Amino acid sequence: MKVSFPYMGTTVVYKKLLELLGHEVIMPPKPSQRTINLGVKYSPEFACFPLKVIMGSYMEAVEKGTEVIVTSGGHGPCRAGFYERVHSRILEEEDYNVEFIVFDSMFRDYKKFLQNVLRIKGDSSWYKVGKSLMLVYDMIKKLDVLEKEVQKTRAYEFKKGETTRAWEKIQNLFDRAYTKKAMEEAFEDGKELLSQIKQVPIAENKKVKIGIVGEIYVVMEASINMKLEEVLGSLGVEVERSQYLTQWINYNALPKFMNHSHETEILSKGERYIPIEIGGHAKQTVGHIVDFSERGFDGVVHLMPFGCLPELVSQSIVPKITADLGIPVLTLSIDEQTGTTNNLTRIEAFLDLIKGKRVRKIS
């Protein structure tokens, strides 16, 4: 069957897994203005931005011949858990013929989960499934290591844009690798590529580090957050995101009692401000701001889709955290009205403030 999936972040990963299981994968096109326009046209007006973008990218994927869309479900309280219902209803209404396979948490509806797994498994043996999963997990880990390196290197590159190009090349290398050995090679080649990038030497105490926190989709998907990481990198700033796929998988795949991942540690840091999980990534956002501040970052950019329910709660709390810990936070709310210049100005001003704060500290 011809399979597709929602577009988010390093998509080679999902593609690889489905390919290894013997499916024909239709890559959803990278979200473009057309994707957004399509999504906005058919989605409910006040739905959050990720829903609209994914709506558009599904439509484009179906136009390219997708028969089945594989996606994850959820059980709230954030709206993301209900996306699939709305998406499939709208696609049906607009005569897009496509079937959904939704992975809800297996602890909720075990039978359905198993059924879905069997469908995705297809004719491959369980041994193959296990092996593919391990391989892909390994690949994600490697890609995350490289991406963190990219985010550091980009800030000090001599020739603008060189790192971004290298990163694309690396993703291509991984895309072509289908065995453990080939992955290993791609990893080494990737490291090599990055180390070859000529860097401007900057004194350690002059380096500026910024953390990016917020809702997972707008944080991970560069094409809708105005390529924030690249923008910050080109302004000479090292960045680190709150979300990486490895963390997400570690946190979500393990049952609660043995879950000691990085994510749980972050959550406990947010406890002071939001005592319970209120859905989405609100508590993580708050926890990550505390974490970044403890690790000596200079500032945090907080991204949220317009009208995101949980992030609005964290946005309300941000001023208090800044007052408590003294870490500057810039909240950017993202939707289809892409005012790139406006946001760029705000980011530049934010960086100026951070640099000014430093000078003041020294003098």
Which residues touch 42 (CB under 8 Å, ≥6 apart)?
55, 59, 90, 94
∠ CA 286-292-294, nearest 5°, is 105
Position 56 contacts other proteins (CB under 8 A): no
Among 6, 28, 211, 310, binds other proteins (CB under 8 A): 310
Least Cβ distance, residue 131 to other proteins (angstroms) = 32
Among 6, 31, 50, 81, binds other proteins (CB under 8 A): 81
Among 48, 212, 220, 228, binds other proteins (CB under 8 A): 48
Q: How far is CA 317 from the centre of its chain?
A: 23
Among 15, 79, 154, 302, binds other proteins (CB under 8 A): 79
* Residues 239, 150: Cα–Cα separation, whole Å: 9
Place of tokens 């473009």: 32
* Residues 12, 312: Cα–Cα separation, whole Å: 32
Least Cβ distance, residue 355 to other proteins (angstroms) = 27
Q: Indicate the residue among 23 and 79 with the shorter CB distance to other proteins.
A: 79
Q: Judging by DSSP bridges, how do beta strands 329-334 and 24-25 pair with one another?
A: unpaired
H or E, element range at 303: strand 299-305
DSSP β-bridge partners for residue 299: 210
Cβ proximity of 56 and 40 under 8 Å:
yes
Position 306 contacts other proteins (CB under 8 A): yes
Position 268 contacts other proteins (CB under 8 A): no
Position 113 contacts other proteins (CB under 8 A): no
* Residues 212, 228: Cα–Cα separation, whole Å: 9
Least Cβ distance, residue 46 to other proteins (angstroms) = 4
Among 280, 291, 332, 347, binds other proteins (CB under 8 A): 280
Residue 212: helix, strand or coil by DSSP? strand
Among 22, 44, 161, 339, binds other proteins (CB under 8 A): 44
Site for other proteins in 191-250 (CB under 8 A): none
* Residues 58, 53: Cα–Cα separation, whole Å: 9
Among 7, 58, 273, 292, binds other proteins (CB under 8 A): 273
Among 243, 261, 293, 333, binds other proteins (CB under 8 A): 333
Closest CA to 116 of 103, 107, 127: 103
Among 186, 245, 313, 332, binds other proteins (CB under 8 A): 313
Position 319 contacts other proteins (CB under 8 A): yes
Closest CA to 240 of 299, 192, 281, 187: 299
Q: Indicate the residue among 107 and 178 with the shorter CB distance to other proteins.
A: 107
Position 106 contacts other proteins (CB under 8 A): no
Chain residues binding other proteins by CB under 8 A are: 43-48, 73, 75-79, 81-82, 84-86, 89-90, 93, 108, 273-276, 278-280, 282, 306-310, 312-317, 319-320, 333
